[in-house]
Structure 1
Amino acid sequence: RIGEYKQGKDPKTDEALSKIDNINKFLRQGLDESAPYEETIQQLMKVVR
């Protein structure tokens, strides 16, 4: 069920949850926004580190 996960039970899940807000921010791009490929990759790498 949603919301039942307790932090500390799974390190990979803990890591993913710690990054979810930044991942969601990265995925939201306005219709009138654009970014060069290299810049996009650099931003993505920052999010997942």
Structure 2
Amino acid sequence: MITHDKKYPTGELAQRAHDVLLVSSFAIWAMVLGFAPVLTYRLLVS
């Protein structure tokens, strides 16, 4: 959502940066949640 308020100026670049940060944060959480069981298993087995 792009708003045209003087208090919160946004633009195409700011919106794109926000989208990239949002997607990358989901990717980081997916990696953390995906690797945690694997690392736990490896630590318990060794």
Shorter-chain TM-score bucket reads 0.3 to 0.5
Compare the two structures and name the one with the higher helix fraction: 2
> TM-score, normalization: structure 2?
0.36
* Larger Cα-atom Rg: 2
Greater relative contact order structure (CA < 8 Å, 6+ sep):
1
> TM-score, normalization: structure 1?
0.34
